[in-house]
Structure 1
Amino acid sequence: IAVIAQIRNALALATHSFFQEHHFLYVHTPIITTSDCEGAGEMFQVTTLISEAEMLEKDLIKNPPPLEADMEAAKQLVSERGLAVKQLKDAKASKADTGASVVELNKAKESLLKLDERSKLKPGIPQKDGKIDYTQDFFAPEQSHTSRHLAEFWMVEPEIAFADLQDDMNCAEAYVKYMCKWLLEKCLDDMEFMAKSYDKGCINRLKMVASTNTNLSIILYLISWMIFK
């Protein structure tokens, strides 16, 4: 575990070094957000109401649910408060008066754990040379219990303005080679331990990728799927 932690530490540092050397702006946005970036709604919800829900459940056991007449009275109260807010806004009341009425209706807003960086914050973020680095923690409630679908993970998510597919591939290739060289230069002892204990060919593969002066091979998606499925 100690060796893995040291290698991960080196890769994290190398990641930031790579993007800084290539003039990316590192942006760390809040983990808790109200934006459902992909629109599917399959995100972890954040709440402080669980303990209150447990208390409410116990209270309901002691006290039976309200009668239908009580429910109608509650609906009438909400309607009256909503009308009060509308009247204040129509009358152009002061911000304090309107806010006091709105707070009765605006009890809570759904909060989610971030899935990726496609959020409302992006248009307002100043870009350095049109490049942004969003490498940080993300969450995805995938319905798959495998090592390939973790609920929490760190993701390297760079963005380059006005880039095409070839630019993206060049950036990804440069990043992979940079990581391999960094491990060979900064973590050789740890990699030798991994080669001795788990994977005898890991160092040779790093050297092969890091030392190549040509572009890495590009294969079609369908072919890669058939190889790695």
Structure 2
Amino acid sequence: MKTKFSEMRTIKELLNNPVVGSHVAVQGWVRTRRDSGSLSFVEISDGSCLANLQVVAEESLANYDEDVKSLTTGCAVKVVGELVASPAKGQAVELKADQLQVIGLADADSYPLQKKRHSLEFLRTISHLRSRTNALGAVTRVRSTLNFGIHQFFQENGFFQVQTPVITTSDCEGAGEMFTVTALEPDQLKKDGAFADDFFHKRAGLTVSGQLQAEIFALSHSRVYTFGPTFRAENSNTSRHLAEFWMLEPEMAFCDLQCNMQLAEAMIKDLVGRVLEECAPDLDLFNKFISKGLLNRLETIKNKPFVHLSYTDAVKELEKADKQFEFPVKWGIDLQAEHERYLCEEVAGVPVIVTNYPKTIKPFYMRLDDGEETVAAMDILVPGIGELVGGSQREERYDLLKARMEEAGLDLEEYGWYLDLRRYGTVPHSGFGLGFERLVQLITGMQNIRDVIPFPRTPGNAPC
């Protein structure tokens, strides 16, 4: 049920259901103003959709000379008037102003956004204003649609959302790239055993994954998911990495690797379909200006089944490729982005699910396959991105999990709670992690991950 909390109408509402002759009130920011004789044509946007609303202001308005003629790009206004049929091409209606109130001025000499295309590199320097542009505004709407779609998909399929901790004492990946959370002063940290005197009486950090905690609730509620910010203190300044990013991590009890892959593929197809339906104008913008052929690629992802390859078969495909890779290929290596993209772009032409990776390149919690050389892991590789999803069936057998943890050098006492899950009612279970920003990249065609998150956090960069 929609709640009416304002007399204001959004531009999206007006343009999706225009009622000529109706009196309406809208608020927004000026994109452009041009004068023609006794009229001013003011384009305004409120961010609700890609399209602007043209306001026609006549010189008979009481504040025409004082306010209307002074409007510049970036000014905030409120307009009350009549919705009328528009004689101009490209718009069905326009708003004939009865009142135009200037709410907030923008200094034309210093306002950095004008009626021209700005480079994405420049826009990253003004993260507090870049969401007002067409491209970044469209990213925001797509991101919101995907966020809502994720919750809809999992709620419709019997999953419960679990909020896993942002501050954790468990390192899921064992990568040692966690941000430390401490209440100690720098000089106190220099002492041996300093963390025993810290807030949690042990070393704590910002989470790199909520998976381990999600497993707790999967083994009591069967189907759960966690979706929130994760952090990695990796000193990388590439177009693929962020220090703060969002992760979606579903976890299911009584579910093997096959079940896990089916869920991930169904979810991706569902989300792509939602955006194609709900964000068509935004996707048209991306298809035209950001990534040619984007719409065709998304339709392919939505409509064609994903290709399945074992890691061993994937390596064989790469070894016989008529291409020189920067990173040489042999069995046992961790596939690089160039390998992943080649498999889905050149070999399959659709997303590829690679399974059964060598255990030596995967974390301790993944279930050992028969033969104990590989694990029941799966990665979903997509065009333009490479790895989008990484998941596995979890090792539910106590003795094998304990041995893997010892091999990884983990403190068994510290992770005793995780082993307990295998001592008390253990069952086969599986899950995956999806990097939300990579999903937004896939659907928008944006090449740099910093352009699909509102406030990118990278080495040396946290402006607001």
TM-score of the superposition, structure 1-length normalised?
A: 0.66
Match of 2:210 in 1: 117
Instruction: State the partner residue of 2:180.
Output: 45
Moved more, 9-18 or 146-155: 146-155
In structure 1, the gaps of 5 or more residues are 57-104
Counterpart contact for 2:211–2:249, Cα < 8 Å: no
* Partner secondary structure for residue 134 of structure 1: strand
> 26, 31, 34: which is aligned to 2:166?
31
Instruction: Determine helix, strand or coil for the equivalent of 2:307.
Output: coil
Aligned partners of 1:107 and 1:31: how far apart in 2? 17
Residue of structure 2 equivalent to 1:141: 233
Structure 2: how far apart are the matches of 1:207 and 1:41?
Answer: 39
2:229 matched to 1:157? no
Tell whether 2:285 aligns with 1:193.
yes
- Mapping of 1:68-217 within 5 angstroms? 106=197, 108=199, 109=201, 110-119=203-212, 122-123=215-216, 127-128=220-221, 130-212=222-304, 215-217=305-307
**Cα displacement string for residues 168-223 of structure 1 (whole angstroms, at most 9, x for unaligned residues):** 111111011101100111111110111111112111222222233xx321133334
Identical amino acids, percent of aligned pairs: 37
Distance 1:121 1:206, change over 3 A: closer
- RMSD (CA atoms): 2.6
CA contact (8 A) 1:35 1:120 kept: no
Paired residue type of 1:188 = A
CA shift for structure 1 position 127:
4.2
CA 146–22 in structure 1, closer or farther in 2 if over 3 Å, else same: same
**What code does the residue aligned with 1:14 have?**
G
The residue aligned with 1:2 is 137
CA spacing shift, 1:200–1:121, aligned 2, 3 Å: closer
| Distance change in 2, residues 1:33/1:202 (3 Å) | same
> Deviations 1:100-147 (Å, cap 9, x if unpaired)?
xxxxx855322210111244674367744x111112111112243323
Paired position in structure 2 for 1:21: 156
Unaligned 5+ runs, structure 2: 1-135, 189-195, 319-334, 343-464
Q: Alpha carbons of 1:194 and 1:127: their partners in 2 closer, same or farther (altered >3 Å)? A: farther
Relative to structure 1, is the Cα distance of residues 117 and 196 closer, same or farther in structure 2, using a 3 angstrom cutoff? Answer: same
Query: Matched residue of 2:251: which SS?
Result: strand
Counterparts in 2 of 1:125 and 1:216: CA distance versus 1, 3 Å: closer
User: Is the 8 Å Cα contact of residues 230 and 246 (structure 2) preserved in structure 1?
Assistant: yes
Could you say what secondary structure the match of 1:156 adopts? strand
Q: What amino acid maps onto 1:117 in structure 2?
A: G
Distance (whole Å) between structure 2 residues aligned to residue 227 and residue 124 of structure 1: 32
- Code of the aligned partner of 1:219: L
Whether the aligned pair in 1 keeps the contact of 2:214 and 2:225 (CA below 8 Å) is no
In structure 2, distance between residues paired with 1:140 and 1:121: 19
Q: Give the letter for the 2:295 counterpart.
A: I
Provide the C-alpha distance between the structure 2 equivalents of 1:23 and 1:9, rounded to a whole number of angstroms.
22
Structure 1 residue identity aligned to 2:341: F
Higher strand residue share: 2
Task: Tell me how far apart the structure 1 counterparts of residues 292 and 226 of structure 2 sit (CA, whole Å).
Answer: 34
CA distance in 1, matches of 2:138, 2:302: 21
Q: The residue matched to 2:309 in structure 1 has which SS?
A: coil
Counterpart residue type for residue 17 of structure 1: Q
Give the counterpart letter for 1:185 in structure 2: E
- Structure 1 residues 133 and 107 mapped into 2: Cα distance closer, same or farther (>3 Å)? closer
CA deviations on 1:40-88 (whole Å, 9 max, x unpaired) are 54311112334xx47x8xxxxxxxxxxxxxxxxxxxxxxxxxxxxxxxx
- Identify the residue that residue 74 of structure 1 maps to in structure 2: none
**Residue identity matched to 1:22:** N
Instruction: Supply the AA of the counterpart residue of 1:154.
Output: W
| Cα distance change, pair 198–39 in 1 and its aligned pair in 2 (3 A) | closer
Q: Which consecutive segments of 4 or more residues in structure 1 shift more than 6 A? A: none
Describe the SS at the equivalent of 1:218. strand
Per the alignment, residue 83 of structure 1 pairs with none
Scaled by the length of structure 2, what TM-score is found? 0.35
